[in-house]
């Protein structure tokens, strides 16, 4: 038993003759009605009626009048609904929602930089990734110790030379490397249009953000990286797996490399042949002829090929109004 319980069992409190309701009880520390009226008078006096309670408190204090603490002045002002209206909040200009449509590979590239944790607190490695919007294929990447515009420029220059193509649009957020003059000058010289996320709206770059989640939720993702060499080795492994082995649900379970190179047409036909053979062997199991999902018959076309099934994820890839990908 607690000591207090033992004490009050042997020394019970005397019972009051008449119990006073809680609402009628007053502490000696409470302000008297005259004191509260004095505070209200100060707050409503014409010279100070448009001033904050904190400022009026110090005006009265400088005049040699102290009634209660500053917090009590605010409490009385709130009770009497004498609090001042807040300042008008700043209005940020409305920014256009980015809407990008890709009907073929290398039309729209999206890039971003994420951080990889290390053994040391406050130190991270920077993982640069550029992804093709139509095929989800990672066209360029690198892991460095810092975020730098020169490194980003070198990554894009290498990617343009390796793929022998330049995209029409490059989308990113408003990071320092993305908005740097070095990178912007490179895109300007190659007549590449750049688009940006709206401030504090990461959903405007959904495919890069989704890729980072896929990479970091992969079973092979370490808790932290010991060295830069280990981080680069992991990046090589995860990118190779994603491009050539990962069946992406957003592109009808093809691999990004297959869609990027165009071999998905043959794979789709092979899937159709397999389904046709199974349908011919067990026709009683089907109400309709099975068909695999397919891309448009040719880049730029939204009409499904004959005998193929058209699904939403195979319409031209677009950043929709709410920022999610369609």
What are the DSSP calls for 299-324, one per residue? Answer: TT--SPPTT-B--GGGSPEEB-TTS-
Percentage of the chain lying above the pLDDT 90 cut: 45
Residue scoring higher pLDDT (15 or 272): 272
Residue scoring higher pLDDT (190 or 80): 190
Q: What is the pTM of this model?
A: 0.65
Listed in sequence order, the DSSP H helices in 33-111 are 33-44, 53-62, 70-79
Question: At 84, is the pLDDT very low, low, confident or very high (cuts 50, 70, 90)?
Answer: low
Q: Are strands 193-196 and 317-318 parallel, antiparallel or unpaired?
A: unpaired
Distances (CA, A) of 138 to 133, 165, 262, 316: 9, 14, 15, 18
Contact 129, 190 (CB under 8 A): no
208-242 pLDDT per residue, tens: 999 999 999 999 899 899 999 999 999 999 999 99
Give the 3-state secondary structure of residue 169.
Answer: strand
How much is the pLDDT for 93? Answer: 76
126-146 pLDDT per residue, tens: 999 999 999 999 999 999 999
172-207 pLDDT per residue, tens: 988 889 999 999 999 999 999 998 888 877 778 888
How much is the pLDDT for 121? Answer: 87
Mean pLDDT for the chain overall = 84
Pick left, alpha or beta for residue 113 (phi over 0 → left; psi -120 to 50 → alpha; otherwise beta): beta
Query: Hey, what are 212's tokens?
Result: 């980072």
């Amino acid at each position: 038993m607690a000591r207090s319980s033992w004490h009050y069992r042997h020394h019970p409190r005397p019972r009051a003759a008449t119990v006073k309701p809680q609402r009628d009880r007053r502490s000696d520390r409470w302000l008297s009605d005259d004191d509260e009226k004095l505070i209200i008078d100060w707050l409503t006096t014409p010279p100070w009626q448009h001033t904050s309670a904190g400022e009026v408190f110090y005006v009265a204090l400088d005049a040699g009048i102290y009634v209660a603490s500053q917090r009590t002045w605010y409490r009385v002002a709130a009770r009497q609904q004498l609090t001042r209206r807040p300042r008008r909040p700043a209005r940020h200009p409305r920014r256009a929602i980015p809407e990008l449509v890709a009907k073929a590979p290398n039309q729209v590239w999206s890039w971003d930089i994420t951080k990889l944790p290390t053994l040391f607190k406050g130190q991270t490695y920077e993982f640069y990734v550029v992804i093709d919007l139509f095929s989800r294929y990672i066209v360029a990447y690198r892991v460095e110790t810092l975020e730098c515009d020169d490194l980003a420029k070198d990554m894009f220059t290498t990617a343009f030379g390796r793929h022998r193509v330049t995209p029409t649009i490059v989308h990113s957020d408003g990071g320092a490397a993305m908005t740097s003059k070095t990178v912007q000058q490179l895109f300007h010289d190659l007549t590449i249009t750049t688009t940006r996320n709206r401030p504090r709206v990461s959903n405007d770059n959904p495919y890069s953000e989704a890729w980072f989640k896929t990479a970091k939720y992969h079973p092979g993702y370490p808790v932290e990286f010991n060295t830069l060499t280990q981080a680069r080795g992991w990046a090589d492994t995860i990118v190779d797996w994603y491009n050539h082995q990962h069946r992406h649900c957003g592109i009808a379970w093809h691999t990004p490399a297959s869609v990027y190179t165009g071999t998905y047409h043959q794979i789709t036909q092979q899937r159709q042949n397999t389904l046709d053979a199974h349908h011919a062997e067990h026709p009683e199991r089907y109400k309709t002829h099975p068909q695999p999902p397919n891309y448009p018959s040719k880049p730029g076309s939204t009409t499904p090929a004959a005998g193929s099934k058209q699904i939403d994820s195979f319409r031209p890839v677009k950043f929709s109004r709410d920022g999610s990908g369609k």
